[in-house]
Amino acid sequence: MLLLSASQIKSTFDQGMQAMSERRFTEAVRHFRQVISAAPDHAEALFHLGRILIAGDRASRAIEGLVRATEVRPEQPAIWQALAEAIALGGDAAQEADFVARLARARIAVNERIALQDRFGALRKGSRPQGGGLSPRDMKALVGLISAGNFPAAEAQATAVLKRFENSAFALNILASAQAAQGKTVAARANYIKSTRVDPKYTEAFENLGRMLLQDGQNVDAATALRRAVILAPGRVPALVGLAEALTRTNEATAALPLLLRADREEPNSAKVLTALGNAYARLNMNDESEAAFLRVAALTGTGMPLEARTALAMAQSRNGKDEEALANLEIVLAEQPDNPVALGGKASVLQTLGRFDEAEPLFRRTAELDPLNGETYRQMLASHTTRPDDPILGTMLELYEGAQLTDASRMNLAFAISKALEDVKDYGRVFRYLDDANALVRKTLPFHRAQRDREIARLKEAFDGFDYHGTTIAGTSDFAPIFVTGMPRSGTTLVEQIISSHSTVEGAGELSKASVGARDLLFPGGKPTTLASIAPADIAHLGHDYQAYIAERFPGAARITDKAIGTYLYIGLIRLALPNARFIVVRRDPRDTLLSIYKNKFPEGTHPYAYDQIDLAHYYGSFVEMVDFWRERVPDWFYEVHYENLVADPETETRRLIAACGLDWEDACLSFHENKRKVQTLSIYQVRQPISKGSVRAWQRYEKDLAPMLELLREAGHITD
């Protein structure tokens, strides 16, 4: 608990209010959390923090604080309203039931309490709209015209009706829907908004507005409208799915997930809901769950499974290592639609991960012909294609970039691809013109907060500090002996894993987050920090056994596996206690080359938010070094450090040392790692299938002027000296 005097609490709260009024929300959150830490019953700080979290699509995180605020100030209707919104947007069935039970004890006006109760009861799927004097017969006639697809007649009839009943929210909604169906989106938007102003509780009008905007690619505005629809009717499935889709498109799949789980409870046999759920899981890299959702679609629809869902199922299967099943499903789609660009691109990407580059490239090129404005196709293809000066693809991409009407996402992907092609043809002077554009576009939708990273590292060090690592033995641990390969992205971790997994007794498992996530959950149960010393030994032992069971299910029969989860270095001490026979390999590389390589690449959706800004990159690298240094001071014998530059300069000597550090007998196959046919899904998909090379050492020197902001910070921090 933070110790503050009464005057300091007031001052900190006032600073939070000022920051909130100026839309400096990150700063406001920090101030309000300081107040709450010092005064846990400060209802106003709890309330305003909740409002910020709700507005930032973090409603699930707002619930606990708002519940506490209602306990402190049960007479404040605004707090109850905020809690209702948080639960509508981020709550589950138990939280809904708890909210309704709490309302019975609320000291607010009866009409206000009943309205909130009805939102989670009689009106949870929507309310009857205001007809404004329009008769039920006339309303039915308007609906009939829309249902029949006679949109011009519906528009004309609704216009006529509104001359007599100008305050009919229902007629305005019908008019807008008819206009939207005819492509008159400007007029439709205006009339949907009029409808919601006439009847601010008209869920369907908010929902229809949101879905029109979603179809038009206006995802942020769509989310605003659909968010209101869900707040008004938390059980309305089309609104839940629409809002989840808008959030998923704007890299907020975490906020989308509780909405889709609720929709699945409301309609457990809806292929549309399950498809959206599978897509959200995919965005969150929850590949087992994604595959399971799409398999439920398959079970519901059989041979009539929608092709879009079958394609998504195939990609989930590929991410789970079921490549033959994935390719079989893609062939089903392509048999029916040979020119389906999503399925063609999906097949190309599966073949690419398997190292079948010659088969993948023509499929990528055909996908680009069919869908030329999709920049992701070019970026994916360039990952395993070396552009030559006579290759027309560079000119094609440059022409598209300068002349086409591209979405931000396509422009970003295309800019990454162009920068890669320019580097291939050694036109280094133009690379950063596109690379900076690409990174700026990602960062616009994926901000990184350096202060938050600092707090995370500080909490981890505090949780791990003061523990007797060498003097503590955990009873009942697993004897499983995985080999964890960790380090910064683009530092050579994939190369090191490829070398180790070329050993006859080792299977490369790729990037698995199971151990790291399990360790994090032990240290921060429910998001609240604890210490390693306070964790029950049985729970630590369970972490290891749980990980072993997870690996056994995914890789049956594997004697040893490599796990290349990037974030393992954060939890070395805890994971080693849980798995005392595990080996840890920390890969280091010149930070200038590491961070340049990160900056040149686009990572999976929502991951590595620090990767798209030079200042953020330098800062994040410092936090990596800080944690490795922390473990080196306490358990230097628990991990082995590989330096990329040494490895490529003297491959045999360094590889022999590496294999010995893994506790393995030497095998010559480890020097022929590039012949290893295992599946690779990282950005190093092409490089690890080539013989070892010094070509990327000191690559940063080509761009020294372009990298000046990052290099200056690295020098100031002492991470580089030359």
Residue 141, token pair as written in the block: 């006639």
Per-residue pLDDT tens digits for 498-529: 899 999 999 988 888 889 999 999 999 877 88
Distance CA 85, CA 50 (A): 10
Cβ neighbours of 303 (radius 10 Å): 6
DSSP one-letter string for 31-81: HHHHHHHH-TT-HHHHHHHHHHHHHTT-HHHHHHHHHHHHHH-TT-HHHHH
At 694 the pLDDT is 66
Q: How far is CA 391 from CA 214, 327, 425, 433, in A?
A: 37, 29, 10, 21
Report residues of the chain scoring pLDDT below 50: 678-679, 681-686, 688-689
Residue 107, classed as helix, strand or coil, is coil
CB burial of residue 75 (10 Å; 0-12, 13-18, 19+) = exposed
Domains with residue ranges and CATH for the chain:
6-119 (1.25.40.10), 136-301 (1.25.40.10), 372-445 (no CATH), 450-591+600-605+636-696 (3.40.50.300)
Cβ atoms of residues 324 and 679 within 8 Å: no
Residue with token string 């009805």:
118
At 692 the pLDDT is 61
At 463 the pLDDT is 95
Candidates 281, 306, 305; CA nearest to 293 is 281
At 135 the pLDDT is 87
At 689 the pLDDT is 46
At 687 the pLDDT is 52
At 129 the pLDDT is 79
At 684 the pLDDT is 46
Per-residue pLDDT tens digits for 434-459: 999 999 999 988 888 898 899 999 99
Residue 588, classed as helix, strand or coil, is strand
Candidates 395, 437, 400; CA nearest to 416 is 437
Residue 121, classed as helix, strand or coil, is coil
Cβ atoms of residues 570 and 460 within 8 Å: yes
Candidates 514, 480, 471, 508; CA nearest to 493 is 508
The residues that bridge with 640 in the sheet, in sequence order, are: 585
- Contacts of 325-328 with C-beta under 8 Å, sequence gap 24+, read 326/350
